[in-house]
Amino acid sequence: MPSASSTRTGFDTALLGIKGLALVAAGVLVLAFPQLAPDAFILSVGVVIASYAALAVSWNFVGGFTGYISLGHAAYSGLGGYGTALLILEAGWNPWLSLVGSAVAVGVLALPIGFASLRVRGASFVIVSIALVLILLLVSQSWSDVTGGSNGLRVPRPFGEDVLRPEQHERFFYLHVGLIVIALAVWWAIDRSRFGTGLKAIREDEDKAQALGVPTFAYKLTVFVISAFFTALAGGMYALWFGSLDPIFQFSILVGSYMVLMSLLGGIRSLLGPVVGAVIVGYSLEYFKSAYGDTQFHLVALGLLLALVVLFMPDGVLPALGSLVDRIRPDKATSIREMTAAELVEKNKEIDEARREPEEVSR
C-alpha cells in the first residue's frame, strides 16, 4: 500500500507535468496566433492585448515586489512613446535605436522622480503618481511645437510604407511577445535573488526590513527605475506600431489603472499573473468596445469584473487556482503556522504518545 509521502510525491510530479504542458501549449498558441487569426482586426486585437501585457509586467516590478501602488505609470509609457517619436523625427535616429534610447532616458529621468516620490507611502504615493501623469498631460497638450499638442504626433512606420498593415501587426505582435519574455525573465531573476528577497521584505513590513539592515530606499529606487525602463519600452513599441500619439491617451490615468487592474486580476505576486490579467482585461475591453461602440459600458463591465475578483479571488486568478490545488492535494501536510494553539497542543500529545509506545514495548 503506497504511503502518504509517496502519494504526495506522485501528485506533485503529475502537477508539475501538467504545468509544463500548459506552458508549452500556451507558448505554441501564442506563436501560432498570427497564423490562426481570421482577419487583420483580430490580429490587431492580439497586438493590443500583448501591449497591455507588456505594460502590466513592467508595472509589476514595483507593485509586485514592493507593494507600492502607482496609478501614474502611464507617465513612463507616454514619455517612452513621445521620446521614441521625437528621436526619429527630430534627431533622425533609427527607430529601434530611438526605442532603446528613449527607454534609457526615461529610466534616468525616473531617478529623481523616484527619489522624491518614494519617500512617501500608501495613499500619499498614489496621489503623487497621479499628479505626475496629470502634469505631463498638461505639458504635452500645451507644448504643441514639440508634441503636436491636441493634434497629436505622427510616428513613421519602422518597416516602411510598403509593408501592409496586417504584416505590421504580425511583426509587432512577435516584438511585444519578445519584450514580455525579456521582462518576465528579469522579474524571475530578481524574484530569486537577494535583491528580490529584500524587496519582498519591504512589501511585507518596510520598517522591520529597514531595522534588519535592508537598504530599503536604495532597493525601492532601483526597482522603480527598472519598472520605468520597461514601461517606456512598452510605450515606445506601441507608438511605433500605432503610428500616432495623442496626449489624452498617452498620459491617461485610465491606462495606469488598467496596469494595476491587470496585475491584481491575474495575481500581483506571481510571475505570469499580469499576463493572465492582461489577456482577460484586454480581451474584455476590446469585446465591449466592439459590441457597444463609443459608450462607456466597457468601463462598467470592467468595474463589475474587478468587484467579482475582489469578492471571490482577492489574491488574483493564479493564486486562487493554486489554493484550489492545495485543497485537493492528497494528505496535505499542515505547517505549524497554519495550526491553532489547541491543534498544536493536540499534535504534541500525539507525538509524545508515539514516543512512549516503543519504550513500553521494550520494558
* Residue 7 forms part of a structural domain: no
Q: Are residue 305 and residue 350 in the same domain, yes or no? A: no
Assign residue 194 the CATH number of its domain: 1.10.3470
Residue 15 domain flag: no
Q: Closest Cα partner for 64 from 185, 178, 196, 193?
A: 196
Task: Examine residue 17 and state whether it is found in any structural domain, yes or no.
Answer: no
Shared domain check, 338 and 321: no
Quote the DSSP letter at residue 270.
Answer: S
Strand partners, 153: 245
Per-residue DSSP letter, 11: H
Counted domains in the chain: 2
Do 218 and 189 belong together in one domain?
Answer: yes
Taking CA 234 as the corner, what is the angle to CA 230 and CA 239, rounded to the nearest 5 degrees?
A: 145
Q: Report if residue 12 sits inside a domain.
A: no
Whose CA is closest to 275, among 172, 190, 176, 130? 176
Q: How far apart (Å, rounded) are the C-alpha atoms in residues 352 and 154? A: 77
Q: Digits of tens for pLDDT over the chain (363 positions)?
A: 455 555 556 666 766 777 788 888 989 999 999 999 988 889 999 999 999 999 999 999 999 999 999 999 999 999 999 999 999 999 999 999 999 999 999 999 999 999 999 999 888 999 999 999 999 999 999 998 888 888 889 998 898 777 788 899 999 999 999 999 999 999 999 999 999 999 999 999 999 999 999 999 999 999 999 999 999 999 999 999 999 999 998 999 889 989 998 998 898 888 999 999 999 889 888 888 887 766 777 778 777 877 777 777 777 888 877 777 667 766 554 444 444 555 556 656 666 666 665 555 455
- 220 and 346 part of one domain: no
Query: Is 358 among the domain residues?
Result: yes
Q: How far is Cα 319 from Cα 312, in angstroms, rounded to an integer?
A: 12
- Show the domain range for 231: 34-328
Indicate whether 340 and 322 sit together in one domain. Answer: no
